[in-house]
Amino acid sequence: MNIALLAQGFATLAWIVTIGLLVLVLGRAARNRPIKKGASMIIVAAVLSIVFTTVASGLVFVNPEERGVVISAVAPKGYREEVLQPGLRWIIPFAENVVRYPIGRQTYTMSIAPSEGQIIGDDSITARTADGQEIYVDASVIYSVNPTEVIQVHIYWKDTYSEGLVRPLARGVIRDVVSQYQVEEVVTSKRFEMADQLRTQMTEKLAQNGLILYDFVLRNITFSPEYAASVEQKQIAEQLAQQAKFVVEQRKQEAEQARQSAQGRADSVIIEAKGAAEARLIEAEAEAKALELIAAALKDKPELLTYQYISKITPNINVMLLPSDTPFLFPLEQLGPTEATTPTTPTP
């Protein structure tokens, strides 16, 4: 329960009662029907009202998500140098009052969309890149008031730090950082580097003014219509080039496959020829070896050659040729196998 609000409620109620008693007493007196001790009742009610009002004016309850700056008519600088911490606090009634500042996270958005930012309409940041291209940046700044520097914020910015500090500071930093990059770098290879640089500079500049930066978000980057059209044409050309490159690679792969197939067939023919040559060589070596063995056998037994010669003579020759030193000639019919005679049955 907020005791400060409760005290204010009692003070308000006391003043209502006091005013009611005053009206009642005066009304009865006008009709010559005065209330006994009416004046005393009014005085008591008024005193109670003043007491409750004084207490309510001196009691202040600061919420956990807030810090208070005490504006004092009796302090030398016009304010207390200590920040009012959360909880029920006491200030000098009627001589001091408290200005509250939230210390929770706040977001300030600048967007091209009419309903997304704090300002209705197009509030994007127009910036120019190092190569002269104009771009439009949407950004959000997530920040909070430093609890230990609330008095500094109050002195320099009061409650205008959002519109008077965060917004112009963010727009200026974005323009300065974007001017250091080429337009293609902003949206491709160096976008994250640029975002880190923006975050670093914003952290430093906000800290100098009593604010804490939690995040700096690049929401969107758009281009002028002319550059957007040129980018689209470039992308189309790149896609066509990629497609042509793919076709060339496909043809190269097909040619490579054909070459490898032809190479495989050639290798197969070569291997087959080598196999046949090796087989022929082995066969020739075997024949040579056989001839050597035959020659060695004939060397000691020349009559084997005569035998082989006779064996190869045509079967129709019925004459046996004998060595020249043999004076005999035998008909082969007599030396051949005797035909078997078939027994005949005598005729009766």
Question: Which domains are seen in the chain, by residue range?
Answer: 3-101 (no CATH), 106-223 (3.30.479.30)
Neighbours of 40 (CB within 10 A): 10
pLDDT in tens, 179-229: 999 888 887 778 889 989 999 999 999 999 999 999 999 888 888 777 766
Q: What is the pLDDT of residue 342?
A: 44
pTM of the model: 0.61
Q: What is the mean pLDDT of the chain?
A: 82
Asked if 110 contacts 124 with a C-beta cutoff of 8 angstroms, the reply is: yes
Instruction: Name the pLDDT band for 308 (thresholds 50, 70, 90).
Output: low
**110: CB partners within 8 A, 6+ apart:** 117, 118, 119, 123, 124, 125, 138, 139, 140, 167, 170, 171
Name the token pair of 44.
């008591």
Conformational region of residue 101, where left means phi above 0, alpha means psi within -120 to 50, and beta covers everything else: beta
Mean pLDDT along residues 6-30: 87
pLDDT in tens, 105-147: 999 999 988 888 888 888 899 998 898 888 899 999 999 999 9
Write down how long the chain is: 348
- Please tell me which of 20-29, 135-144, 247-256, 292-301 the model is most confident about, judged by mean pLDDT: 135-144
